[in-house]
Structure 1
Amino acid sequence: MRLFAAIIPPPEILDEVAAALAPVTELVEGVRWPDRATWHLTLAFYGEVPERALPDLEVRLARAAARHPAKRLAFAGAGAFAKRVLWLGLTGDPLVRLAASTRAAGRRAGAVQTDDKPFRPHLTIARTRHPTDLRPLVEALSSFEGSSWAADAVHLVHSRLGATVRYESLGHWALAPDERG
């Protein structure tokens, strides 16, 4: 099973993102805009995980989530990775420690993590097959500032590859209450 841990933004926040993207989708040719049903913030990518490791991974993710408070986040600004991935950035509570905990949960459960890149929280909103100058899109979205929202759960997501990518949440675990209110 191809799995990852993620935070899934609420529908009203995804509505804001979709509204911001609508006027810019034709600015650059060759850009693929994934369905909003696939939008998420990846905390840890586990790659192919044997089904027998799933129960242990679920227990460890529940523990990891319970150790971290809910986060106040907002999407803001845009950028690109390697001229192939367009993303929106985040402001608010850092996710670095939560991401490290979900990555450690996967390692301890025997999930083979195939992504050892430094954690950079972002929402991937578009991709290209070939390196493309995405600067017009980055510039058009650079002033985007979304509403603040509560990230209050970690999801374990099964990624099903095919003609279209489909994601299925296998479970989710609440983050601890944010004591700051």
Structure 2
Amino acid sequence: MRLFVGLLPPPPACDELVLALEAHRPRWPGLRWLDPANWHVTLSFLGEVPDPALPELRARLADAAAHHAPMTLSLAGAGAFPSADRARVFLTGLEGDLPGLADLADHVGAEALAAGAGQTDHRRFIPHLSLARCRADTDLSPLVEAFGPFSGTAWEAGTMHLIRSNFGGGTRGGAEARYETVDEWPLTARTPRGQS
């Protein structure tokens, strides 16, 4: 199954973001706006994971979660990948305990790789939440600038999710994926990792 590990913002944070986007969406009808039910912050993309690797993966992810404390985060600002003037993805960023978030992402990636389920081309972690996609390179500079002042209410990220990507008809055709949590673990350390 096709999996990734992520954090899910709580409904109030998503509702706030939906409201903030209302004025911008009609001006950009060519974008494929992602369903808020699918919004997430990816910690580690795992890709296709063979069933025999799942027990060890679950055990290692549970252990990783136990070594990290809940963290305070908020959605804020705007950006685009790979760049605002040649964008394929429009996104909002995160603020708050970004060092703790990056540490968690690194730990999750290392544990997944050790379980035979991670990606060997480990990319630099960029905390974000994808909001819309473009079919071709698009200049989203005006949208990034207009949405840049957005600053959401802080929330506590206290649970890590193992999420399955389901594509309509079993292919990755044009349909948006549906995401399904297959397991979750609370972040239970009393202090952030590396602190006493």
**Aligned 8 A contact 1:53 1:109 in 2:** yes
User: Offset at 1:103?
Assistant: 0.4
Structure 2 vs 1, CA of residues 13 and 124 (structure 1 numbering), >3 Å: closer, same or farther? same
Structure 2 vs 1, CA of residues 164 and 89 (structure 1 numbering), >3 Å: closer, same or farther? closer
User: Offset at 1:29?
Assistant: 4.0
1:161 alignment partner in structure 2: 167
User: Offset at 1:139?
Assistant: 1.2
User: Offset at 1:105?
Assistant: 1.4
1:125 alignment partner in structure 2: 131
Structure 2 vs 1, CA of residues 114 and 2 (structure 1 numbering), >3 Å: closer, same or farther? farther
Distance in 1 (CA, whole Å) between partners of 2:191 and 2:2 is 34
**Aligned 8 A contact 2:90 2:131 in 1:** yes
Q: Give the SS at the match of 2:161.
A: strand
User: Offset at 1:30?
Assistant: 1.6
User: Offset at 1:135?
Assistant: 1.2
Which structure 2 segments of 5+ residues have no match? 169-174
Find runs of 4+ consecutive structure 1 residues off by over 4 angstroms: 177-180
2:187 alignment partner in structure 1: 175
Q: Give the SS at the match of 2:136.
A: coil
**Aligned 8 A contact 1:71 1:178 in 2:** no
Question: Normalising by structure 1, what TM-score?
Answer: 0.95
Distance in 2 (CA, whole Å) between partners of 1:40 and 1:138 is 19
User: Offset at 1:161?
Assistant: 1.8
User: Offset at 1:137?
Assistant: 1.3
* 2:108 aligns with one of 99, 102, 108: 102
Deviation by residue 1:131-165 (Cα, 9 ceiling, x = unmatched):
00111211121000000000001100001123331
Give, as a single letter, the amino acid of the residue that structure 1 aligns with 2:88.
Answer: R
2:34 alignment partner in structure 1: 34
Q: Give the SS at the match of 1:69.
A: coil
Q: Give the SS at the match of 2:23.
A: helix
**Aligned 8 A contact 1:60 1:105 in 2:** yes
Q: How does 1:3-152 map to 2 (within 5 A)?
A: 3-82=3-82, 83-94=87-98, 95-113=101-119, 116-152=122-158
Deviation by residue 1:72-98 (Cα, 9 ceiling, x = unmatched):
001110011121111101110011100
Give, as a single letter, the amino acid of the residue that structure 1 aligns with 2:151.
Answer: E
Question: Normalising by structure 2, what TM-score?
Answer: 0.88
User: Offset at 1:112?
Assistant: 3.8
Distance in 1 (CA, whole Å) between partners of 2:141 and 2:176 is 27
Distance in 2 (CA, whole Å) between partners of 1:164 and 1:72 is 29
Q: Give the SS at the match of 2:75.
A: strand
Structure 2 vs 1, CA of residues 171 and 105 (structure 1 numbering), >3 Å: closer, same or farther? same
